[in-house]
Amino acid sequence: MSQVPKPHLPCSITEEPHCGTHPEPSQLFSDEDQIIISSKCFQSPEHKRHEACGIQESAEYYRKLFQETLVTLKEKLEAAACLLAEERERMVTIQEEEQSFKEMIEAEYKMIFQLLTEGKKAPFSSQPGCKFDLNLNGPNQNQLMTFGTELMQKSQKMLQRLSHLGSENMGKLKASEAWLSEHLCSLQKIITDLERNCGESAVALLQNAECYLKRSESILLQSLEPAQITDLSACRIIGTSNVLLRLQRHITLDPDTAHPSLVVSEDLRHVAFRDTPKTGPDTPRRFDFSASVLGAESFDSGRHYWEVAVGQATQWQVGICDCTERTNSIPGTSGDKVLLMGSLMGADCTLWVFPPLRKVWLRKQMYKVGVFLDCECGQVSFYNVTEQSLIYSFSALTFRGAVKPIFSLCITNGDRSSDSLTVCPPQTHP
């Protein structure tokens, strides 16, 4: 940035300005030429086609313009400060996310290998390119070791990619932080200069008015944008949910827990909104604060897996809830739940997990969600069955006792909704 002329004028022209051409005191300011001129000079051929106003009138005009510009500059200063704070917060968050994804990747591959070694046979025939006979007797033990080595190599490759993306994202955020810090300094400097210039005499204010406005315009034209970083969910693990099919459980819905706005099908697998809310006395186990229904089955040990068809539902939640020490086995607070939440807008599906509430990804629509529960390890994982990929995994959770599947839809504001969820029966994927 070029050196800005100092706004102070010599005392000889501040007290009694002259145009420099005529000896008489100057009385006018030429906005086009940005100079103070005398009335006689204004009549000269050089200036006669230019407009000019009195010095005091021009100074008041620019003082008002400065004050309006200051409002905008201060708004941008506040926005830049907020964005800087957000970028610094993202720097912390992305480190936490990288560690979380690292733990998910390690846990997922470990779980796959454990499932292979604990069972006599695993349904891998449906996985493209998988030719292993996983009967663990005799020579097939070598094949299992080979497959375990391949899993480890895939895990290491995924972790390396995660580390690369994490470093790349951190570099972008640090660059954004440095630019925003410099931008804030520039904003504060021009704000200070404008505030000081607003208090100057008419002549001193006009001396560099155009220069200050150009500086302000230049800095206001610089856009404030957060750093564009890569979603770490790009490191999602593909092709794992088939491994869980032999853990798939027979899950049904408990109609006695269904919110009055929900109706459960006769086969206890489908839940949808009623045309009109159910009236009459509620059962003591019924949800009355969210459009939810519990699964009839409960689990306090072992590993379990079930799938839910979300179809075209626009707002839904699936997961588990810890009902221990709750009256009539109904959870009292959202803290009792581990949830995957979906919101469909057009073909885009935005996903969140809880707790704590965090956005996971933005991808094309999926139609079926898998839920995996390991009671001993305190693990709950969610899968995109449509793409055969891991969405998110919680580990080291503490359950006070038995947990139940939970299914929820969003109650709309008076509008009739066709949203529904269906629990899928255990089956082998084609």
Question: Per residue in 145-200, pLDDT tens?
Answer: 777 788 888 888 989 999 999 999 999 999 999 999 999 999 999 999 999 888 88
Tell me whether residue 153 is exposed, middle or buried, using C-beta atoms within 10 angstroms of its C-beta: 0 to 12, 13 to 18, 19 or more: exposed
pLDDT (0 to 100) of residue 48: 52
Higher per-residue confidence, 95 vs 360: 95
Helices 209-220 and 55-118, packing angle to 10 deg: 20
Rounded Cα distance, 24 and 21, in Å: 9
DSSP assigned state of 232 = G
Residue 157, CB half-sphere, CA atoms under 13 Å: how many? 8
User: Quick one: what percent of the chain has pLDDT higher than 90?
Assistant: 37
pLDDT class of 223 with cuts at 50, 70, 90: very high
Model pTM? 0.68
Q: Which of 277, 323, 275, 271 is nearest to 297 (CA)?
A: 323
- Mean per-residue pLDDT of the chain: 78
Nearest one of 232, 234, 237 to 100, comparing CA atoms: 232
pLDDT given at position 172: 96
d(CA 386, CA 367): 6
Q: Does residue 14 have a pLDDT over 90?
A: no
Q: Structure tokens of 273? A: 């909104």
Minimal CA–CA distance to 242: which of 150, 120, 370, 351?
370
Least confident of 47-51, 194-198, 241-245, 273-277: 47-51
pLDDT digits (tens, 9 = 90+) for 40-88: 554 555 555 556 566 777 778 888 888 999 999 999 999 999 999 999 9
SS3 category, 268 = coil
Written as one letter, the residue type at 413 is: N
pLDDT at 283 over 90: no
The token duo for 250 is: 């027979």
pLDDT of 110: 84
Average pLDDT over residues 362-372: 84
Smallest CA-to-CA distance from 275 within 257, 262, 286, 256 is with 262
Biggest alpha carbon distance in the chain? Answer: 113
- C-alpha–C-alpha distance, residues 430 and 425, integer Å: 14
CB 163 within 8 A of CB 74: no
The token pair at 297 is 């089955």
Instruction: Determine the residue type at 279.
Output: T
Q: Is the pLDDT of residue 136 over 50?
A: no
Domains and CATH numbers, the chain: 57-121+141-225 (1.10.287), 236-277+289-424 (2.60.120.920)
Predicted local distance difference test score (pLDDT) of residue 322: 85
